[in-house]
Structure 1
Amino acid sequence: MQEFDNAEILPAVRVMWGGFSLVEAELRGMRRLLQMSANWTHYINLSGQDFPLKSQKYISNFLNKNPGRQYIRAVPQRTKRPETLNRINDIFVEAFGRIFHTGIKRPYLRETSPWIGTQWKIVGRKFCQFVTSDGRVDRIKRFYRYSFIADEAFFQTVMMNIGDVNNLINDDLREIDWIPDGYIKLRPRNFTIGDANMLTNGRNLFARKFNIDEDLEIIKFLEDYLASAEAAERSVIDPALRIVDRVVPALECASERFAGQGAVQIQP
């Protein structure tokens, strides 16, 4: 990591799927990024099973053309996802490496509406500053600490109740194929080589999930596809000329691979 002066690996902490510890991990990352640099403009959270479908150059241009917009899925939970209301109506406790469903009922926050979406987001620096430091967020944080799968609802609820919703786009720009999975209702399917055409011809910036133990071929295919696209981008004779967005589909992709969670720095 020494060659990347704008990157850092934070000390590991224990987190658990479905627990508020996932939210705390993101807030911790946002705080550290804000301390590290004043130059980045967007926060993009990714997991180790995500993969880019567009180049860093494409993503940078896209975000520069859409300044101030927040890309996060958010729908009113009571009307659109009523089957998930037990996540906030009941008290859940994360402790001893487990999540305990107490079955104890509780009222929801006064003068606040619950919202829900997915964990994945592309949000601006201003929102990161707001959600990590504004005192009005504290009561929402205290409530969701004892909820289930808070990472799919906490940020949406903050944004839709006390944040700036004027530039919210109900889209996380991820290619995800949701399939039924018992108690949690839905889970993302692992992509395979059979999805190659769909993944390389879509509009989304990232895709999830991938599992190299299940299908390594799709990862190799995407790496090769993006590498050839990056070479095509470098072949432009005059770098001062603006590259038309869709000259050939390959120009929409690139070879840079993302992993973990972090921020994309948009350089002037």
Structure 2
Amino acid sequence: MFGRIAVSEPLKNAILITAYKNFDQLVELIRCFDLDEDFNIYIHIDKRKRPDKVVTQKIESFSNVRLVSFKYSVNWGGLNYLKSYLHLSSEALKDQKNTYFHLITAQDFPASPISEFRKLLDCSEQKDYMINQRIPNKNWKGGGMERIEYFHFYDTFDVKEGGEKWISRLVKIQKSVRLRRAFPKKNPALYGGSTYWTLTRPTLQFVVNQANGDSRLIRRMKHTFCPEEMYFQTVIMNSKYAANVENSNLRYIDWSSGRGGYPAVLDSRDFEEIVSSKSLFARKLDSPTSNSLKLMLKDRLNK
């Protein structure tokens, strides 16, 4: 709908990766794309989880890695997740050859052949791929309204260090005294969905421009729960770019089986379903559970 980007050099896919552990798997993931000139890679690693110098040098040594950043300390559920995504997006947009932008983590893995990524670049009508639903969202607890109506101190308390009990207690106190945060009517209608997306350059540039030019929505996202699951959807779906969005994120994610958690940790039993889903990425993979699946996906990647 919005046309192709006119550049003199070949168009590229930008892979935006966030990581905080499993750095050997991150190296594997980078290697999947590093031998192909169609890809540029941008990485943000949690400032507190910086790998040792040898691993960092290995990551930086790949020819297609354009950025390794340690800008933010990131707590699950907190605002710095969103800030790290916007940071990676801003950096990747500086290269005019980058045309499609794919947000993933070090626990994701490519699920389609390289040729499928090239098809995105070659398609005459380039679409955006992002799961989105209007909030209240029937698939979220309480429609998702509790995420924004109460103060959630995920940036203050780290849930991986036992902070969840304090966050929950503070929400209960707010409920007991009937304290609710207002969401100003001048703010746009709220949308939410999966964190991970595949966006075209015009759409992602619009989101970054909005974040830089009008910070009211980001400020209101402070002390909400998982704002990265709402910000991109809200900005895009309240703009002209909404017409370009397919309500899919091209990711295979198992939220139902509970194998290893939610989402499930995938293994070789999932391979056929991943292939039939025609997803670009599978999430999430962990060693050693997913080692056989990674080998199967690597073989598929190079076909």
CA distance in structure 1 between the aligned counterparts of 2:234 and 2:207, rounded to whole angstroms: 11
- State the distance in 1 between where 2:226 and 2:110 align: 25
Structure having the higher helix fraction is 2
Equivalent positions of 1:164-183 (< 5 A) are: 164-179=241-256
Aligned equivalents of 1:171, 1:215: Cα separation in 2: 24
1:43 equivalent in structure 2: 101
User: Which of 279, 283, 290 matches 1:208?
Assistant: 283
1:13 aligns with 2:75: no
Partner of 1:62: 120
Structure 2 residue matching 1:85: 3-state secondary structure? helix
- Displacement after TM superposition at 1:83 (Å): 3.4
- CA separation of 1:5 and 1:217: change in aligned 2, threshold 3 A: closer
Match in the other structure for 1:161? 238
**Alignment partners' CA distance in 1, 2:240 and 2:218:** 14
Matched to 2:130, the amino acid is I
For residues 100-150 of structure 1, give each alpha carbon's deviation from its aligned partner in whole angstroms, at most 9, with x where no partner exists: 455341112314221110101011122222222236642111111221011
Which of 139, 150, 160 is residue 227 of structure 2 equivalent to?
Answer: 150
| Deviation of 1:84 (Å) | 2.1
Q: Give the alignment partner of residue 89 of structure 1, picking from 146, 149, 152.
A: 149
Q: CA deviation at 1:189?
A: 0.9
Tell me, yes or no, if the aligned pair for 1:212 and 1:219 is still in contact at 8 Å: no
CA distance in 1, matches of 2:230, 2:245: 15
Describe how 1:100-179 pairs up with structure 2 within 5 A: 100=167, 101-102=170-171, 103=174, 104-111=179-186, 112-134=188-210, 137-162=214-239, 164-179=241-256
The answer on whether the counterparts of 1:176 and 1:188 sit within 8 Å (CA) in structure 2 is: yes
In 2, the alpha carbon distance for the partners of 1:212 and 1:144 equals: 34
The CA distance in 1 between the partners of 2:184 and 2:121, in whole Å, is 34
1:142 counterpart letter in structure 2: R
Distance in 2 (CA, whole Å) between partners of 1:6 and 1:40 is: 13
* 1:43-100 deviation per Cα after TM superposition (whole angstroms, max 9, x unaligned): 1011111111112332121343264421100001115344321001112232264574
Choose between structure 1 and 2 for higher RCO, CA contacts under 8 A separated by at least 6 residues: 1
* 2:84 counterpart (8, 13, 25): 25
Conservation of the 8 A alpha-carbon contact between 1:191 and 1:210: yes
Tell me by how many angstroms 1:3 deviates. Answer: 5.5
* Structure 1 unaligned regions, length at least 5: 230-268
Tell me how far apart the structure 2 counterparts of residues 96 and 72 of structure 1 sit (CA, whole Å): 29
1:77 aligns with 135
C-alpha contact 1:109 1:143 (8 A) present in aligned 2: no
1:53 maps to: 111
In 1, are the aligned partners of 2:112 and 2:300 still within 8 Å (CA)? no
How big is the alpha-carbon RMSD for the aligned residues of Structure 1 and Structure 2?
2.4
Shift of the 187–128 alpha-carbon distance from structure 1 to 2, 3 Å rule, reads same
Take 2:64 and 2:273, find their aligned partners in 1: how far apart are those partners? 36
Q: Distance between the aligned counterparts of 1:63 and 1:142, measured in 2?
A: 35
For the 8 Å contact 2:79–2:222, the answer to whether it is kept is yes
Structure 1 residues 162 and 114: CA distance shift in structure 2, 3 A: same
Unaligned runs of 5+ in 2: 1-59
> Which is further off, 56-65 or 97-106?
97-106
Instruction: Write the letter of the residue equivalent to 2:114.
Output: Q
Q: Structure 1 residues 215 and 11 mapped into 2: Cα distance closer, same or farther (>3 Å)? A: closer
Secondary structure, counterpart of 1:42 in structure 2: strand
Shift of 1:154: 1.1
| Sequence identity (%) | 22
| Structure 2 contact 89–208 (Cα < 8 Å) conserved | yes
Indicate the residue corresponding to 1:187 in structure 2: 262
Contact persistence 1:131–1:137 (CA under 8 A): no
TM-score (norm 1): 0.74
For 2:276, give the aligned amino acid. Answer: N
Q: Is the 8 A contact 2:110 2:281 kept in 1?
A: yes
Q: Is the 8 A contact 1:20 1:149 kept in 2?
A: yes
Q: Partner of 2:132: helix, strand, or coil? A: strand
